[in-house]
Amino acid sequence: MSVFHNYTYGADVYDQTRKAEAFEIWLGALQRFAPVPASEVRLLDAGCGTGNYAEVLHPFVRHLNGVDFNPKMLAKAKAKLSQGVEAGSITLEQGSLLSFPFEADTFDAVMINQVLHHLETGKDFARNGHRAAVNEVARVLKPGGLFMINACSHRQLRDGFWYNHLIPTALDTVCARIAPTTMFAQMLNEAGFEITARHVPLNAIMQGDAYLDISGPHRPEWRAGDSIWSLAPDKEMGGACHTLSALVSSGQAESWLATHDAPRIHVGQMTFWIAVKN
């Protein structure tokens, strides 16, 4: 339900650069922390997108429900997961993270992957979009249910992506849409969750091999893999592309990219939160 990124266009090219990075963390969490054996879990993928995480995890659970606000992204997920849908082990439907179409205490586990920043205006310092989604998850989870959240921290946004400093307005704007780590932890606690683990997979790269393509920002299909580009003003976007073109022309691109990507290995790009409903 993004108000700033065009997922109707992005749906056609999203999977060119986005995969289910570090999904093994979620599989381990399901096996260790779910209130029932993983094979008996009913899992909700909230904001399922094109179904990347659903595709790799649904063979390990009893039933997977996927919800996404964008019809085009949902259509891609339905095509990708058609065998599971036809077999009855997967159900996909349009819906909002702020108001799930499910009864209370329905799911054993819920996961949200790189979605929470799309729920915010960037002007609400309380991050009430996050709070509403967390409370909705608490409502539909069974007691003892597992909540798995994949999101970027402010430090990861500033130091974990080689290109973000080229678009400082977009960087500041997306940071304003994401709750600081301490605030998010407090939200989880207030909603009745106990945080059991937090993982930062330092080798996981959000856009896979495409991430290190220094010419990528010139192409809309590459930019579709990271919604921050939609927040960059035209002048800022043009300046970033000009800088990168000049680096390529001067033969400095490889060393420049290595220097600006170096902090990533220390901070990672994503944080995986694992919490259990009290």
Task: Measure the CA–CA gap between 211 and 58, rounded to whole angstroms.
Answer: 27
Query: Please, what is the angle between helix 234-250 and helix 253-261, to 10°?
Result: 120
pLDDT at 6: 84
Instruction: Tell me the C-alpha distance between 129 and 192, whole Å.
Output: 17
Angle between helices 128-140 and 181-190 in degrees, nearest 10: 40
Which pTM value belongs to this model?
0.96
Q: Do 236 and 169 form a contact (C-beta atoms < 8 A)?
A: yes
- Per-residue tens of pLDDT for the chain, all 278 residues: 576 788 988 899 999 999 999 999 999 999 999 999 999 999 999 999 999 999 999 999 999 999 999 999 999 999 999 999 999 999 999 999 999 999 999 999 999 999 999 999 999 999 999 999 999 999 999 999 999 999 999 999 999 999 999 999 999 999 999 999 999 999 999 999 999 999 999 999 999 999 999 999 999 999 999 999 999 999 999 999 999 999 999 999 999 999 999 999 999 999 999 999 99
CATH superfamily, domain at 7-277: Vaccinia Virus protein VP39 (3.40.50.150)
Tell me, what's the pLDDT at 9? Answer: 85
- Tell me, letter by letter, the H, E, C secondary structure of 153-175: CHHHHHHCCCCHHHCHHHHHHHH
- Give residue 1's pLDDT: 54
Neighbours of 59 (CB within 10 A): 10
Residue type for position 122: G
Please answer whether residues 146 and 27 qualify as being in contact, where contact means their C-beta atoms are separated by less than 8 angstroms: no
Dist. CA 159–CA 153, nearest whole Å: 10
Tokens of 179: 């709750």
Q: How far apart are CA 205 and CA 203, in angstroms?
A: 6
Domain spans of the chain, in order of start? 7-277
Which residue in 48, 55, 46, 50 sits closest to 23, CA to CA? 55
Strand runs labelled E in the chain: 42-46, 63-68, 90-94, 107-113, 141-151, 193-199, 271-277
Q: What is the dihedral of CA 223, 228, 230, 233, to 10 degrees?
A: -110
**CA 53 to chain CA centroid, nearest Å:** 10
- Tokens representing 110 are 């819920």
Residue 133 is predicted with a pLDDT of 98
pLDDT in the model for residue 160: 98
